[in-house]
Structure 1
Amino acid sequence: MATQNNLHFDVSTGLKRVLGRELITDDEVAIFELVKNSFDAGADCVHLYFGDDSIVIADNGAGMSYEDLTDKWLFVAYSSKRSSRSPDDFRNLAADRRNYAGSKGIGRFSSDRLGEEVILQSRPKGTPEKVHRLTVDWELFEKDAKERFENVPVHYAEQNGFQLPSELNKFESELKHGTVVSIQRLRRPWPRQRILDLKASLAKLINPFGEQTDGFGIHITAPDEVGEDRRLFTSHAKTEEEPLSKDIVNGQIGNFIFTTLQDKTTFIRVTISGDELYTTLTDRGEVIYKIAEPNPYSHLADADFKCEIYYLNLSAKTTFARRVGLPSVQFGSVFLFRNNFRVFPIGEDGDDWFGFNRRKQQGYARFLGSREVIGRVDVSGSDEDFQEASSRNQGLIETPAVEQLHKAVMEHCLKRLEKYVVPVSWVDKPDANTDDLSRLMTDPGRARVTAAVANLVDNDKVRLIDYSKSLVDLINERSGDFETSLVSLRAIAEKTADVKMIERLDVAERRFDDLKKSEADARRVADKALAVAEAANLRASTAEAEVETERRRAHFLETFVTVDSATILNLHHQVTIYAVDIAQQIENFLIETADQTLISRDTVLKTLEQMAFLNRKVMSVTKFAAKATFKLDSEKIETDLAAFIYDYIEQIARTTGSARLQISVENNHPGIKLRFNPIDASIIVDNIISNARKAKSSSIKFVLTREDKSGLTIHVSDNGRGLASGTNRSRIFEMGYTTTQGSGLGLYHVRQALGEMGGSIEVDENATKGLAFVIKIGAPGKKQ
C-alpha cells in the first residue's frame, strides 16, 4: 500500500493576473471597485485625481493599521467585510455602513487593471499612528510564472503624513485618517472623453435619483482639463446659461435630481416592510393612490426593498434630455443598488436583466419597455441572498432571494405602473406631450383615472390608504362617461367605507335618472310634434326643384336664408329638449334644498353651472338653426373638425359678434375627420371670444395647425388686458374660479367640452401681450 501524505496547493504569481486584469475586464469597473472600498470604509468624501501618468483615489474613511495591512489587505481573497459582521448587520440602515458593497477581498487587485504600480497610504481612525505606505510593483509578478506568489516582495514604509498631488492640498490638510491609492505607470491614457464617460458612470454608481448622495461625495480633479472647462464656462456665460454637468470634468460629481421629473411624469414607489408591501402611484405631482397589501416575497421581508420607476412620456423625455444632456435611453433604464451601491451593468443601455424588453415584444402597444421607464431598485443583504458575480459586470448570481427580486419588480412595480399608464395616458395621444394634469382634469380623463383605481382595489387583500380627491370624484352628469364612472366610484367608496361619498353617489344617481327620464319624455314629445309637422310640410310642398348655387361647399351658408318651417321646427325641437333639462335642474335643486336654511356656495354653483351650460346650448342652437347645412339634432356629426371650426368662426362667430372685436381665423390643417357634437365646438369658440371681449380686446385670432403627425392644434391669442395680477394660472379652468366680476364658468365649460372631444386647453406662456391659449385635440384611435 502506497504511503499516504497530505499535499497542499501552491499558488504562482499568475494568480495576480487572474484576480486582476483577467477578472476585472473593464477600466471603469476597476475604478468602481476602488471607490466601493472607500464607501465601505465609511468615507463621506473621495477624490479622483488624473495626472499625466497616474490616478489617485483618496478618501477620508476609517483607514487601516499595520495589522490590517498585513493580516487583511495583503491576505489574498480575505475580506474583513465578510468575516467581521454579525447576522443582524444586513437588517440595519445603510447609513450605518454595516452593509458592504463588496465582500470578496479581490477589489485591491483592480489597480492592476489600471497601472503597473500601486502605492497605498493609510492611517486608521482614532489613533496617533503614522501613515503606513505600501508599494506594489505588479510587473514583478509577471517575470516568472513559476515563482510562488508570496515570494514577490511588497515594500513597506512609514511616513509622517499623507502625500497627495498639489492640486489636492486642501483635502490633504484636512485628511486625519483614510486611505490614498496611487496608481502609477498607467496601462492606458485617460483623455478628456474617457474621464467624462467615467464621470457619467460614477454619477449613476451611488444615487442618481435624489439630492442626497447617501452622505458620499465623489470629486474629480484633472489639471490638464481645467483650461477646457473654463472655456466652456466662458462660452456659456454669453447666453447666461451654465454648461451641462456632463461636459465639465473638474468638480464634484452631481447626481441627476429626479425632483423635476416627479412633477412632470408618472412614477410608482413600492416598498416592503416585513409582512406588508406598500405602493404609491403619483402622476405629475398628484398622488393618485396609496395602497397596502400582504407581502408575498418572504426573502425580501428584511431586505429593505425599495423600487421607484418613472414612466417617461415625450414631455418627460424632453425634460430629461435638457437636464442631463443626453437622451434617457442612453442614460439607462432601471438600475439595481445592493447595499446602496450600484450592481453593474444592470440598467445600462442594452441590458435587460429585469426582462422588460423581452416582455414588451409580446405586446408592444400594451406593455412598457426599458425605453419608456427609468428608475432604481434597492435591496440590502448578505452574499447568501444577493451576491454579485465575480466578474463584477454580470449582475447578481441567481438565488431564491434574487428570483423574488425579479418577480417583485415585474409584478408589483412595472405592471402596476403599466395598469395606470396604458388605460389612462396611452389612450389619449396628446397626453404624451403634456407635463401637467390638464388632460386628466376633464370628465373623460377623471373617469379613466377612477376606473384605474377601482380596478386596482378590486381585491380583498388590497387596502386603499389614500387616493386623489380631485381626480377620483364625481364627474359632470352630462358626460358620456358618467354612468361607468359611478360604478367605479361606488367600488372605491365601499372599499374605503366612505359613507359621505356613498351618499353623494346615491343623490347623483337619482338626479341622473330623473334627468334621463325627463329628457326621454321631452324627446318623445318633440319627435312626435316634429314628425307631424314635417308630414304636413311635405304634403304642402310643391314639386318645384330647388337649385343650390354656392361659391364653395361649407358647413355653414354664406348668408342668412329665409327661415322655412322645417328650420323653425328643428329649432323648436332642440330648444324644447334643453329647456326641459333646465327645468329639471331647477326642480332637483329646489327639492334637494327644501329643508335647508343655508345652502353652500358649492351646491349653488354646481346647479347654476349645469343650467348655464344648457343655456349656452340654447344660444348655440339659435345660431346654428338658420345657417347650418346639416340637420341639427342632439346627435354627433362626423366631418373635418378643423374645417368645421374654421367655417363656424367665419360664417357665424364673426357675423354675430361685436363690431368692437375683430375676429380672424387661419386654417393650415390638412384635415382631421372626427365624430363630435357641433354644439360643443361652438361653446369652445364662443366662450373664448366672450372672454376676449370682457378683457377689452380689439382683436382675437385663431390659427389651426397640425404640429405633430396627427391631431389638431389651435393657437388662440388676443390683445386684451390678459390675466389679472395675482391670478393662479393653474386654476383658471376650475369651476367658479374668477378674478373679475364674471361667473368663472366660461373657461371651465371650454375645458369640459374639449374633454368630450378628447382635447385639452392650456395657457400659452410664450404670449407677450394679452392672453393666449393652446388647444390640442388628438386624432381618434391613436396610441403612443
Structure 2
Amino acid sequence: MAIKNSEVRELHFDVSTGLKTVLGSELITDDEVAIFELVKNSFDAEATQVDLFFGKDRIVIADNGVGMSFDDIENKWLFVAYSSKRLSNRAGDFRDGIAERRHYAGSKGIGRFSSDRLGRSITLQTRTQSDHPNAVHSVMVDWSLFDVDHHKRFDSVGVTYTIQPDGFVVPDIIGPLNNGTVITIENLWREWDREKILKLKSGLAKLINPFGAESDGFRIVIHAPEQEQADNSEKQQAQAKGEELSPNALVNGAVGNFIFSTLREKTTYIEIQIDPSQNTIESILVDRGELIYRIREPNSYPLLQNSGFRCELFFLNQSAKMTFARRMGVPSVQFGSVFLFRNDFRIFPIGEEGDDWYKMDRRKQQGYARFLGTRDVIGRIDVAGTDEHFQEASSRNTGLIETPAVKELQQCFMDHCLKRLERYVVPVTFVDAEDKLTSDVSRLLTDPGRARVATVIAKLVDNSNIELIEYSKRLVGILNERSSQFEASLASLRAIAEKTKDETLFQNIEEAEKRFEELRRSEEAAKRQADEERIAKEAARRLAEEERRAKEEAQERARLAENSAVKFQEKFEEERSRTLFLSSIASLDTDTILNLHHQVTIYAVDIQQQIENFFVKVSGKEMISAHDVLNAFERISLLNQKVMGITRFATKANFRLQSEMIEADLGEYIVQYINDVAKKFNLTPLLINVETDEKGFVQKFKPIDVSVVIDNLISNCKKPNLRARNINFQITHPSKNTIHILVTDNGKGFDEKIEDLDRIFEKGFTTTDGSGLGLYHIRHVLGEMNGTIEASRRQDRTGAVFLIRISK
C-alpha cells in the first residue's frame, strides 16, 4: 500500500517462531546448564525437594514447591520473557513470601525454554495448595512445531491445556505430590548414559551448596532405575577392597557434598563475612581444627555492605588433596576452585577447572612459591542482590556482567580472602615440607611452629584498623627459654598483648624475660667455669708435652753427663710419674674426653643454677603452685638427661664431640647410637632393633638431642605396666630432604581411656607412675630439630606406634 510523504504510522515488532530456538537450544548450549535452569525454577518456587528421573526416553523433574494456578500459567508461564521474580512484590503473585526466605536464582523469564535443549516435547503439570485437591493443570508443548515455518508468528503455535482430575502423573519411585510442579521432557535429543548422569550429579552438587548438602533446605534426588545394577556393583567392589565409596560414584541417591566438613579438620581455611549493621568485615582463620585468629576491620566496599558477602576459602595441602580425591572420586583440580553463588545459585563458569575469573593463576606466575593459585585452593563466595549490581549474562555460562559491585567483589576476595590465607600458609606451612603432609597441627605445637604462628598474627595486627578479637592460646604463647626462637617470639607476643590489652600475657612475657636472663647468666657462668677448666687442662697437657720432651732431652744428656746421674735419676722419676698419667688420658682420645668433660661441666653448672633460681623464687612463700614446681623440675630433668647422654658418649661413642652441633648423616648416626650405645646400656630383656633404607640425610644436629629422643622412647616402653618385649626403629627417607623414623613396640599400648593421643606429649601427662616429662621432652627436642612426633594405635590395639618426621 502506498504511503504519502507526510503520513505517520505506528509500527510494531513481530516475533517469529524462531524465537523459541534463540531462547532455547541456541542460548542454552549445554545439557547440564539446561537441567540447572529447570532446577533453579524449583528452588525459586520454594521447593524443599526436587526429584530428577532418567528413563529410557524421558526426563522428569518434579518438585514440591508452591505450584502455579491457571492464571499463573496463562499470564506468566506462557508470557515470553516475563519474570514474576522481578515483580514478586505484586499482590497475589504466586511467589509471594519466597523472597523473604530465599533470594531468586533467576529473573530472565526464559528458563522454561531450556527444555528445548533436552527434548522435542515438554509436559508441565502443576497445582497450588489452594487448587482443587485432585485437579492438576497440564500443559503440553511440542517444540518441533515452532521449527516448521519461521515465517509464522510465535503466538500462532498453540499449546495443549487439560485438567488431570486424578492428580499428578509421576514415576512410582518419586512418590505422591500434593502440590508443586512436574516437568516431563520426552523424545530426548541425546542419550543420558551413566557417565553423563554422574557428570550432572557432580555439577548439581556444586550448583546449590558444596559446603553442606542441605544447608539451604533444598534437596535434590536422582532416580535412574537402569543404573541401579551398576551402582550395586560399585558398592560391592568398594566393600571387597575395604575402600570408602565416593558418593559421586553412584548415580542413584541424593545429590550432596560430604567433603567440606571433613576438610575443615584437615586443612587451613579462612571465613570472611561483611556485617551490614556494623559495616565491618569479620575474618576467621582456622588451621586443621585450631582457630588461629578472629579479627574485625572496617568495610571499605560500600557496594557490598548489604550484599550478604561471605567467603569460605580452603587451602588444599597434600593431605587435604588426597582426602578430597578419596572421598569425592575426582581430584580437587577437576572439581573446581572458588565458586561464586548469587542468590544461592552458582554463576557459571566461575570456579570451573581452567577458569581464572579471580586472576589467581595470572598472579601466581609472578611468584610461584609466594602465591596461591586455582590448584591450591577451593572455596565459595556468596552474594545476594539485584541485576543492578550482580547481573548474570543471558547466555548462562559466561559469568557475571562487569559492574562496579562486581569489581569490588573481586577486590574484596583478593585482599581479604586470598592474600590473608597466603600470609598464613606461606610462612607457616610452606617452610616445613612435612607440614604439607600433616592433617593436624602437631608440627605447629613445637617451638619453631608456635613462633611462626605468633609472627604471622603479630604482622597482621600491626594495623590500627584491625581489631584482634580472638587467637589460639595453645599455639600463641611463651616458648621454652632454651628455644632458638625464644627471643624473636617475645617481640611478636608483645605486639599481640598490646593489641588485645591482655595483662596476663604481658605478665607472662615479663616473667619469661626474667627466666631467660637468669638462664643466660647461668649459662655464661657455666661456660666460664668450663672454659677455665679446659684452659687449665690444656695447660696441663702442654706441660706434659714439655716434660715429655724434657725427659727425652734428659735421657740424651744422661748419656753425655754420667757425672750427674744421681741427680738426673731423681728428676727422671718425677717426670715419668707425671707422663704416665697423661699418657693414659691420651690413649683414650684426649680431645674427646676433654670436650665431653667440658659439656658435662656446662650442664652440671646449669643444673645447679636452675636449683638456686628455684630456691630464690620460692623463698618466703607459703604456697608454691604445681605449675612452677613442674616447670623447674622439667628443666632440670632435661639437663640431667643430657648429662647422662654425655657420660655414655665418654666410653661408647665413636666420634669426637668437637662442639654441641655436628653435621653428619642423621639416619646413620641413629643406627650407630642404637647399636653402639643404647643396646650396650640396656640391662633388661628388651630387644632393640633398628632398620634403615640406607639413604643419605646429612644435616646439622646436636648428638645430645638424639640421645634424649632415643633414650626416652626406649625407657618409655620398658615401664612395667607396658610390658614390651621388643622395640623396633625403622628409618626411611620419603624424599631427599626428609627422614621418617617409625617406632613400634609390642607392649600393652596406650590406655583406652586416652581419646586424644596428642595429650601424651603434654607436660606432666601420665597414666603410669612416671613424671610425664619423657614424651614432652621428645616433642620439644624434635621441634628444635625441625621435626615432630605423633602417636597412633595398632589395629589390634597392642603396642604403641610413634612416627617421627624431620625435615631440613
TM range, smaller chain: over 0.9
Q: Is the 8 Å Cα contact of residues 570 and 625 (structure 1) preserved in structure 2?
A: no
Equivalent of 2:127 in 102, 123, 146:
123
Structure 1 range deviating more: 485-494 or 245-254:
245-254
Equivalent of 2:708 in 661, 677, 683:
683
Q: Using the alignment, how far apart are the partners of 1:155 and 1:743 within structure 2?
A: 86
Amino acid at match of 2:209: N
Name the CA shift for 1:257/1:704 in 2 (closer, same or farther; >3 Å): closer
Q: Is the 8 Å Cα contact of residues 749 and 793 (structure 2) preserved in structure 1?
A: no
Name the CA shift for 1:479/1:342 in 2 (closer, same or farther; >3 Å): same
Q: Is the 8 Å Cα contact of residues 121 and 162 (structure 1) preserved in structure 2?
A: no
Residue number in structure 2 paired with 1:440:
444
Q: Secondary structure at the match of 1:439?
A: helix
Amino acid at match of 1:648: Y
Shift of 1:634: 5.2
Structure 1 range deviating more: 576-585 or 620-629:
620-629
Residue number in structure 2 paired with 1:151:
156
Q: Secondary structure at the match of 2:181?
A: strand
Residue number in structure 2 paired with 1:167:
172
| Cα displacement string for residues 725-762 of structure 1 (whole angstroms, at most 9, x for unaligned residues) | 42341201111100000000101111111111111111
Equivalent of 2:501 in 497, 522, 535:
497
Equivalent of 1:772 in 801, 804, 808:
801
Q: Secondary structure at the match of 1:135?
A: strand
Q: Is the 8 Å Cα contact of residues 561 and 627 (structure 1) preserved in structure 2?
A: no
Name the CA shift for 1:515/1:236 in 2 (closer, same or farther; >3 Å): closer
Q: Would you say 1:597 and 2:602 are equivalent positions?
A: no
Residue number in structure 2 paired with 1:137:
142
Q: Would you say 1:217 and 2:245 are equivalent positions?
A: no
Equivalent of 1:740 in 755, 764, 768:
768
Report the number of matched residues.
757
Amino acid at match of 2:804: I
Q: Using the alignment, how far apart are the partners of 1:517 and 1:219 within structure 2?
A: 71
Q: Using the alignment, how far apart are the partners of 1:237 and 1:712 within structure 2?
A: 34
Shift of 1:188: 0.7
Residue number in structure 2 paired with 1:301:
305
Structure 1 range deviating more: 149-158 or 722-731:
722-731
Residue number in structure 2 paired with 1:189:
191
Name the CA shift for 1:98/1:259 in 2 (closer, same or farther; >3 Å): closer
Q: Using the alignment, how far apart are the partners of 1:169 and 1:767 within structure 2?
A: 43
Q: Using the alignment, how far apart are the partners of 1:588 and 1:206 within structure 2?
A: 63
Amino acid at match of 2:162: A
Q: Is the 8 Å Cα contact of residues 281 and 290 (structure 1) preserved in structure 2?
A: yes
Equivalent positions of 1:472-491 (< 5 A) are 472-491=476-495
Q: Using the alignment, how far apart are the partners of 1:122 and 1:767 within structure 2?
A: 56
Equivalent of 1:279 in 274, 277, 283:
283
Name the CA shift for 1:146/1:214 in 2 (closer, same or farther; >3 Å): same
Equivalent positions of 1:493-532 (< 5 A) are 493-532=497-536
Structure 1 range deviating more: 368-377 or 21-30:
368-377
| Cα displacement string for residues 571-622 of structure 1 (whole angstroms, at most 9, x for unaligned residues) | 3321221122222222332333334322221121111111111111111111
Q: Using the alignment, how far apart are the partners of 1:638 and 1:658 within structure 2?
A: 31
Residue number in structure 2 paired with 1:348:
352
Residue number in structure 2 paired with 1:13:
17
Structure 1 range deviating more: 477-486 or 600-609:
600-609
Q: Is the 8 Å Cα contact of residues 244 and 326 (structure 2) preserved in structure 1?
A: no
| Cα displacement string for residues 286-324 of structure 1 (whole angstroms, at most 9, x for unaligned residues) | 111111111111111111111111111111111111111
Equivalent of 1:421 in 425, 431, 440:
425
Residue number in structure 1 paired with 2:295:
291
Residue number in structure 2 paired with 1:555:
none
- Consecutive unaligned residues in structure 1, runs of 5 or more: 545-559
Q: Using the alignment, how far apart are the partners of 2:743 and 2:236 within structure 1?
A: 40
Shift of 1:51: 1.4
- Consecutive unaligned residues in structure 2, runs of 5 or more: 552-584
| Cα displacement string for residues 323-353 of structure 1 (whole angstroms, at most 9, x for unaligned residues) | 1111111111111111111111111111111
Equivalent positions of 1:503-582 (< 5 A) are 503-541=507-545, 562-563=587-588, 565-582=590-607
Q: Would you say 1:758 and 2:791 are equivalent positions?
A: no
Residue number in structure 2 paired with 1:547:
none
Shift of 1:562: 4.9
Q: Using the alignment, how far apart are the partners of 1:605 and 1:630 within structure 2?
A: 35
Name the CA shift for 1:93/1:697 in 2 (closer, same or farther; >3 Å): farther
Q: Using the alignment, how far apart are the partners of 1:364 and 1:525 within structure 2?
A: 51
Q: Using the alignment, how far apart are the partners of 2:97 and 2:776 within structure 1?
A: 49
Q: Is the 8 Å Cα contact of residues 203 and 256 (structure 1) preserved in structure 2?
A: no
Name the CA shift for 1:193/1:266 in 2 (closer, same or farther; >3 Å): same
Name the CA shift for 1:161/1:337 in 2 (closer, same or farther; >3 Å): farther
Shift of 1:95: 8.2
Q: Using the alignment, how far apart are the partners of 1:622 and 1:608 within structure 2?
A: 21
Residue number in structure 2 paired with 1:323:
327
Q: Secondary structure at the match of 2:85?
A: helix
Q: Is the 8 Å Cα contact of residues 214 and 256 (structure 2) preserved in structure 1?
A: no
Q: Using the alignment, how far apart are the partners of 2:659 and 2:512 within structure 1?
A: 23
| Cα displacement string for residues 541-569 of structure 1 (whole angstroms, at most 9, x for unaligned residues) | 3689xxxxxxxxxxxxxxx9954554443
Equivalent of 1:246 in 245, 248, 260:
248
| Cα displacement string for residues 426-447 of structure 1 (whole angstroms, at most 9, x for unaligned residues) | 1110111111111111111111
| Cα displacement string for residues 614-642 of structure 1 (whole angstroms, at most 9, x for unaligned residues) | 11111111122334454425531111111
Q: Secondary structure at the match of 2:680?
A: helix
Q: Is the 8 Å Cα contact of residues 69 and 131 (structure 2) preserved in structure 1?
A: no
Q: Is the 8 Å Cα contact of residues 788 and 806 (structure 2) preserved in structure 1?
A: yes
Residue number in structure 2 paired with 1:551:
none
Q: Secondary structure at the match of 1:157?
A: strand
Residue number in structure 1 paired with 2:208:
206
Name the CA shift for 1:427/1:93 in 2 (closer, same or farther; >3 Å): farther
* TM-score normalised to structure 1 length: 0.93
Residue number in structure 1 paired with 2:643:
618
Q: Is the 8 Å Cα contact of residues 574 and 633 (structure 1) preserved in structure 2?
A: no
Q: Is the 8 Å Cα contact of residues 653 and 677 (structure 2) preserved in structure 1?
A: no
Q: Is the 8 Å Cα contact of residues 233 and 242 (structure 1) preserved in structure 2?
A: no
Amino acid at match of 2:633: L
Q: Is the 8 Å Cα contact of residues 259 and 328 (structure 2) preserved in structure 1?
A: no
Structure 1 range deviating more: 466-475 or 693-702:
693-702
Amino acid at match of 1:733: F
Q: Using the alignment, how far apart are the partners of 2:11 and 2:379 within structure 1?
A: 52
| Cα displacement string for residues 74-98 of structure 1 (whole angstroms, at most 9, x for unaligned residues) | 1111110012249xx9xx9998444
| Cα displacement string for residues 444-472 of structure 1 (whole angstroms, at most 9, x for unaligned residues) | 11111111111111111111111111110
Name the CA shift for 1:168/1:162 in 2 (closer, same or farther; >3 Å): farther
Q: Would you say 1:632 and 2:661 are equivalent positions?
A: no
Residue number in structure 1 paired with 2:559:
none
Q: Using the alignment, how far apart are the partners of 2:244 and 2:725 within structure 1?
A: 42
Name the CA shift for 1:482/1:93 in 2 (closer, same or farther; >3 Å): farther
Shift of 1:236: 4.2
Q: Could you say which structure has the larger radius of gyration?
A: 2
C-alpha RMSD of the superposition: 2.2
Residue number in structure 1 paired with 2:572:
none
Residue number in structure 1 paired with 2:228:
226
Equivalent positions of 1:75-86 (< 5 A) are 75-85=79-89
Q: Would you say 1:393 and 2:422 are equivalent positions?
A: no
Q: Is the 8 Å Cα contact of residues 95 and 214 (structure 1) preserved in structure 2?
A: no
Residue number in structure 2 paired with 1:457:
461
Shift of 1:2: 3.5
Amino acid at match of 1:592: K
Q: Using the alignment, how far apart are the partners of 2:89 and 2:207 within structure 1?
A: 24
Shift of 1:357: 1.2
Q: Secondary structure at the match of 1:125?
A: coil
Q: Using the alignment, how far apart are the partners of 2:700 and 2:80 within structure 1?
A: 75
Equivalent of 1:27 in 26, 31, 55:
31
Amino acid at match of 1:154: V
Q: Secondary structure at the match of 2:679?
A: helix
Percent of aligned pairs sharing the same letter: 55
